[in-house]
Structure 1
Amino acid sequence: MLSSVGAFSSLYFATLMLLLSSGLFNTFMGVRLTAISVSEVWIGGLIAVYYLGLVFGARMGHRLIMGVGHIRAYAASAAIVTICVLVQILIDSMYVWLLLRFLAGAAMVVQFMGIESWLNEQSDNSQRGTIFAIYMVFSSLGTVLGQLSLTLFPHLNYEPLVFVAICSAFSLVPVAITRRSHPPLQVPAPINARYYVDRVPLSLMVLLVAGMLTGAFYGLAPVYAVRVHLSSEQAALFVAVSVAAGVLAQWPVGWLADRMNRVKLIRINAICLLVLAIPLWGWFEAPFWFLLVFSALFGILQFTLYPLGAAFANDNVDPERRVGLSAILYMVYGLGACLGPLLAGGLMTYIGSNLYYIFVAACGLALVLLVRPQKVLGDHLSQDAPTNFVPMPDSLQSSAAAVALDPRVDISSDVSHDPVFEDLPPVEERVPATTESTAVERQAEDEAVEATLAEDDKRVDPVAGSSGGLDDSGNPADVDSSGGAQEAESKRKPSDPAP
């Protein structure tokens, strides 16, 4: 493991700085805007358009990286993110901020793609799982440090934004001076979404709800903390504890997921979300330690929903179509991350700030009603099910390019872009039928040739050897007796045995 860290230290450090800036920015904006009485709808909208940029910036990122290379694309994207942060210091218009956050999300996903495709291209198949795990640890560590770094700024002025811009620019340095070669990037192919909707509708619903929870958490959990009279430092710690607990819980939850029914585990997760959210509905004023404990429990539950849903989806999809599956899951998760902050922000604005955990409870209830083990028939299980559980603390702190590092997929055999013919029988059933059909056709052709040869033999005179017998004057026709044989021989197929 140490050798893997050393080999990609520059990329891991860039990831750490990138996520540190992103984590600090999201928490700071929630706390800052709440302090100046900005509506939760606007706060949720800012995080929603950021995730929208992450989802829709992938296509643009592919074209940019293919056109100018990884380092230049990464450098340009880091510059755009830094500029967007600094412009927010100069302009206080919320409408401009929405545009800036969308641009920052679209540019940041290019940075994720550059790092992840680099890691994928220059790692062996035997090392992909380790490299993927280390990359996710650095991503989560950067997010946690981003929350905690808010405690360095006691005043809610624009100093944290300057620090965010510094971290964003600093993430450019290790990539710009790396000595590693540029990896190639494949052109993204269209994916048959209907195949995945038909195969894993339950997993897609789980991922949608998980995205709603995650998006609402990063945007509005700091707002909730401020509304219940926590200081900015306490609000940052409230969020950081949840993220850290979610990271540490990946391995024990993965151990459980590999040994028990995954649908039941998702349902248990949903029931716990529902039950634990009820005490935080505003019934009483909870002490700070109580909120930290519940924040850690919610981090364990909400940050393990994505890998659980992804593992169950991989169990029910053909191995050669798992690359496309991961792309679909990423898009659905991102859509949920866009909807979650808007829904929770609207509830908190028009009803009350305690509605954040009522929203969490509603998401848990939706999963309890949707996820029922008795409805899962197992008709589409893959031949290698159950697949290994892979830790994924927060998919939106990466891009779809990280799919290639997932040890459950094989890029070399991927056919996600090929058409899907669900109505055809399996290949092993179709091949014998095709062979039998070909044999029948060939037998019919041979019988037709034999019938033709029999007719020719009847017309041949056994004495003169001619097919006509006599000429016009009544004398035997002067034809070589070998002519009929030659004509018959010419009508035989090369594969027919000689008479």
Structure 2
Amino acid sequence: MFSPLVTFPALYTATLLMLAGSGLFTTYMGLRLTAEGAGDLWVGGLMAAYYFGLVCGGKFGHKLIASFGHIRSYVACAGIATVVVLLHALVDSLAIWIVLRFVLGAVMMNQYMVIESWLNEQAESHQRGKVFAGYMVAVDLGLVVGQGLLAASPALDYKPLLLVAICFASCLIPLAMTRRVHPAKLVAAPLEIGFFWKRVPQSLGTIFVAGLMVGAFYGLAPVYANRNGLDTAQSSLFVGMCIVAGFCAQWPLGWLSDRVNRAWLIRGNALLLCAAAVPMWGLIQLPYWALLANGFVTGMLLFTLYPLAVALANDHVEQPRRVALSAMLLTTYGVGACIGPLFAGALMHRFGPGMFYMLVSAYAVLLIFWVQPKRVTGLHRVDEAPLHHVAMPDTVSPMSATLDPRVEEVPEELVVEAPPNIGRSDGAPDKAS
């Protein structure tokens, strides 16, 4: 039986280490800036800069991989990421930190693209679902491990930065030592903004709102927890619980999504999210266990909006356009994730930490009115709809579209051949192990 964890151990290990460093770094920066009194707007600005780097990094990453090859570009970007993290220990300027966060987002997008394109090329079509699921497990497990590392080393000194640098440097090792055949082609996923806005406006709106909420969550949820009296270890556990909840909810919700109208499911999700966030508004003082419980429930609902919207969009777009659809959805999500932390940080700075979950409720109400099942006419519904629901991590690149089992094959016009012999410095072809 095919086991992706055995077949692609280097790629999954690199992903886990990379996300462990990223998750630890994001939470640490939020808590450190809060402890130093920098203000929630700066925390939101740092997170927005990171997502802006991810959005801009797609074009940069494609050119870098095409010019230097997968391993070389990955090694270069992992090295840059390590340097960027260590620079935070040498430079105390918040303005420079914002620039560094942008650079980190851009180089990490390249790393996502390398891993996802590699997995796609070497996974057969009937294995793609398992490969994608294994990748998602590595992404979410890495984020949770990052929170665990911070809980184990809760002092907000420079030690967590060293742990982040170790994770970013360690993710080099599996890919540098792998003997698998290097990918030979890249996929340029174009944007067709006008077409998709007319075809799947409700999905795009849901994706944008999900980006507003999730982008703000990663940067400001630790701040919210800290301002509610939680220490560093407790704050990291709170964030980790929310991430675990979203991960655990993906598969049962996927089962339900294949059997219930997805537009109604998104509205129901938004309604429950609005209600679940109310106790977190700060109107009453919740004990620690109640914060964890409510965080778990809101995490389940928050992190499942993105895959639900992706599934709804795929039901109404033909298979040859699904790679372009994924690029459009991810770009929309990235734009939302850039705006969300800035807006939430400004309101939290002005009105207090409870504004974070007040915004979550407000965004949920917006979705309730935006997603109207009666407007889903079925005019462009594909013959095989509803397509099988696929659990989706929210931290991916446009290259992940080709891993999605709903994409049967990559259209030829989207394939860009890489330069020959990019895998080896001596020009010799690579050999599989």
TM-score range, shorter chain: over 0.9
Q: Which has the higher contact order (CA 8 A, sep 6+)?
A: 2
Task: Tell me the distance in 2 between the aligned counterparts of 1:245 and 1:355.
Answer: 22
Q: 1:413, CA displacement in angstroms? A: 3.8
The TM-score with structure 1 as length reference comes to 0.82
Question: What is the match of residue 409 of structure 1?
Answer: 407
Deviation of 1:4 (Å): 2.0
CA distance in 1, matches of 2:119, 2:164: 25
Amino acid at match of 1:41: L
What is the match of residue 235 of structure 1?
Answer: 235
Partner of 1:150: 150
Task: Give unpaired runs (5+ residues) of structure 1.
Answer: 418-499
List alignment gaps of at least 5 residues for structure 2. 416-433
**Structure-1 separation of matches of 2:413 and 2:277:** 42
Which range is displaced more, 185-194 or 86-95?
185-194
Deviations 1:399-436 (A, max 9, x none): 1111111000133446679xxxxxxxxxxxxxxxxxxx
The answer to whether structure 1 residue 97 and structure 2 residue 60 are counterparts is no
Which secondary structure does the structure 2 equivalent of 1:203 belong to?
helix
Q: Is the 8 A contact 1:322 1:414 kept in 2?
A: no
User: 3-state SS of the aligned residue for 1:89?
Assistant: coil
Q: Give the CA RMSD over aligned residues.
A: 1.3
Runs of 4+ with deviation above 4 angstroms: 414-417
SS of the equivalent of 1:186 reads strand
Structure-1 residue corresponding to 2:396? 398
Checking the alignment, whether the CA contact within 8 Å between 1:85 and 1:164 is kept in structure 2 is yes
Taking a change above 3 Å as real, the CA distance of residues 276 and 384 of structure 1, as seen in their structure-2 partners, is: same
Structure 2 SS opposite 1:90: coil
Judging changes above 3 Å, is the alpha-carbon distance between structure 1 residues 276 and 268 closer, same or farther for their aligned structure 2 residues?
same
**How many Å separate the matches in 2 of 1:386 and 1:225?**
39
Query: Which residue identity is paired with 1:239?
Result: V
1:32 aligns to 2:32 (yes or no): yes
Change (3 A) 1:305 1:189: closer
Q: Distance in 2 between matches of 1:191 and 1:23?
A: 29
Which residue in 2 is equivalent to 1:373? 373
Provide Cα deviations, 1:430-488, integer angstroms capped at 9, x if missing partner: xxxxxxxxxxxxxxxxxxxxxxxxxxxxxxxxxxxxxxxxxxxxxxxxxxxxxxxxxxx
Hey, what's the Cα distance between the residues in 2 that align with 1:405 and 1:12? 14
CA contact (8 A) 1:323 1:411 kept: no
- Measured after TM superposition, the shift of residue 55 of structure 1 is 1.1
The residue that corresponds to 1:223 in the other structure is 223
Question: What is aligned with 1:349?
Answer: 349
Within 5 A, what are the aligned runs for 1:55-134? 55-134=55-134
- Which SS does the other structure have where 1:180 is aligned? coil
Question: 1:95 & 1:332 partners in 2: Cα distance?
Answer: 26
State the distance in 1 between where 2:220 and 2:187 align: 36
**How far did 1:189 drift?**
5.5
**In 1, are the aligned partners of 2:402 and 2:410 still within 8 Å (CA)?**
no
Q: How many residues align?
A: 415
Cα separation, 2, equivalents of 1:69 and 1:97: 29
Kindly state the Cα deviation for residue 320 of structure 1 after the two structures are TM-superposed: 1.1
Mapped partners of 1:398, 1:163: distance in 2 = 23
Query: What code does the residue aligned with 2:4 have?
Result: S
Q: Deviations over 1:179-233 (max 9, x none)?
A: 0121122352643221111100110000000111110100000000001100110
Separation of aligned partners in 1, 2:331 and 2:151: 33
What one-letter code is carried by the residue in structure 2 that aligns with 1:404?
T
* Alpha-carbon distance in structure 2 between the residues aligned to 1:166 and 1:33: 22
Aligned-residue identity in percent = 49
Going from structure 1 to structure 2, the CA distance change for 1:320 and 1:47 (only over 3 Å counts) comes to same
